[in-house]
Copies of this chain bind each other. A is one copy, B any other.
Amino acid sequence: MHGGIAILGLGLIGGSLLQRLKGHNVIGYDTDPAARAVARQAGFTVADNTSQAVAIADLVVAAVPLPALPALLAELGTAARPGAVITDVASVKGPVGEWVRGPVRYVGGHPMAGTERSGFAAADPYLFNKAAWVLCLEADTDPTGWLELAAVLTTIGARVVPTTAAEHDDVVARISHLPHLLAATLAGAAADPLAQTLAAGSFRDGTRVAGTRPELSTAMCQANAAALDTALAQAITALQETRTALADNTLETLFRRAYDIRKNWPSTKTKTRKLDPNAADLRDQLLALGRQGGWLTEIEPGALTGEVPL
């Protein structure tokens, strides 16, 4: 990165990133004048419009909500410097790539950090410390641009997880969107007052994310509808198998499998993995690292350092 970094959207993610990168050549922008004023008052450099923000930026982080992304990416097609690396932070990756325009180098991103709070006021410069940050590596992703972005993110302490948009969308459907649907189902099973009076710990934990604002859960799930439908179908199949196991008195096998997964999560033991950034099959090596649950922690010209769970 020789030029600057522009952060468009100063909510929780964009605001946290702006705060974390303070002192670097970074400029923020938000379409909301109030958000711009708050950030300026806090001492940050804030542009007056998108064009001004991205004029000298080599890296543009589009940290706006998913519905605002198509228009912003279209605008960046002409406003951004040719060859600039453009990334986003949306929770679904498949559709976003199709909205990219112009001679830019797009890398789809998704930081797995804080979704319940929102706004610049909730921003936290340490939000990304040890947080997984997905960076998509498609067949047509520019590897140099990908590594430049990865270098910025590892510098701020994030764990850069290489994967593809398709794999990302499949995984978040299962581990992030399906939990919201299961929680809603469980809450719906306790609509009667007697059930609510007898409900205790297992109900509390199992329904916690049902307390997310419905419009947020809805937007998140609908944006990943195709992958989520597959995850839902698999969950229904698993529950049908559970009915059979209950009838056959073989539930213990099923519970033990779940117990083993839960007890070993999150993985705390890892080993270091070194990769050669100049390897001809670097993309394959990085995607293999991601599939093994690994991530990058340091990007240097001659070596990439990562970790893999044992």
Contact = CB atoms under 8 A, between A and B. Distances in A.
Given A222-B246, A265-B199, A186 B179 contact: yes
B181 A293 contact: no
Nearest to A262: B210
Contact of A261 (B115, B172, B187, B218): B187
A207 B258 contact: yes
Interface residues of A, number: 96
Given A189-B234, A222-B246, A258 B199 contact: no
Given A163-B194, A261-B191, A238 B175 contact: no
A33 interface: no
Contact of A259 (B193, B210, B264): B210
A256 B206 CA distance: 17
Given A161-B197, A193-B292, A309-B196, A185 B242 contact: yes
Contact of A222 (B168, B185, B251, B267): B251
Contacts of A159: 197
Given A179-B206, A205-B205, A246-B232, A167 B194 contact: yes
A119 interface: no
A146 interface: no
Interface in A216-275: 217-218, 221-222, 225, 228-229, 231-236, 238-240, 242-243, 246-247, 249, 251-252, 254-259, 261-267
Interface of A: 112-113, 115-116, 132, 134, 159, 161, 163, 167-168, 171-172, 174-176, 178-203, 205-215, 217-218, 221-222, 225, 228-229, 231-236, 238-240, 242-243, 246-247, 249, 251-252, 254-259, 261-267, 290-295, 309
Given A168-B198, A184-B255, A190-B261, 17 more contacts: A159-B197, A171-B195, A174-B190, A174-B195, A175-B202, A179-B203, A179-B206, A182-B206, A185-B242, A188-B258, A193-B291, A196-B267, A199-B266, A205-B206, A225-B246, A229-B246, A229-B247
